[in-house]
Structure 1
């Protein structure tokens, strides 16, 4: 680092780039650790910014998927109506009865799928929340430890 200028100041020992060069090993380790903790914090902020950018780029795909799901729902309704009419013809029953039975069967299937999915979805976010909180606590502890380690 021959290109870095060493400045002597009336405040204390020689300084290179604003850092004390005479503070000892513990101060240098503490400064390094603090810088490392700040770097980790900035890395987390960068990851959050990347996630926001990724989400903004994914919006057209998400809109396309929403449209596809809506069309699938509409198609499922038509399919169920066709199934009900087929059942009415095959079982020699009134079309209204077949439509009601088919609709009831579809609602039972939807309720089962929804209950299972909601159970999995609710439990899937607890791990991420726990990891995030623990990471923040660990980062604060590291910063505190490294800040006061040389004093």
Structure 2
């Protein structure tokens, strides 16, 4: 039996991605290594193994795009209400700095989008708990933008 070999460029291309078999009835899937194993490579050629990033359907991709669009809707809230939002999301030792960053971002032309992301993500957080992380990411993004502005 001969050893499984692939051309070098194809092997490099296959190693850079995560490959998975189709999901079973429980929703889990088995990982494949088409760059190393002949049976995984054959399954990939037959379409049984797909790249991790190819699993989303076009409808799911469009839904995610719309979701991100709704996070950028322009919404302004009074400063006291913003302070209440920050107090509910962040731990005590992060509240003051996060609030100050969001106030500064509210008046900055580029960082304003991060402010909108925070407000919209907080409003979605009330219904879906997973948006709490997006609130934190929005503040981090605003901080990054404001910090880059001060360098110049």
Query: Please, what TM-score do these two structures have when normalized by structure 1?
Result: 0.27
- Between Structure 1 and Structure 2, the one with more helix by share is 1
Q: Which has the higher contact order (CA 8 A, sep 6+)?
A: 1
Of structures 1 and 2, the larger Rg is shown by 1
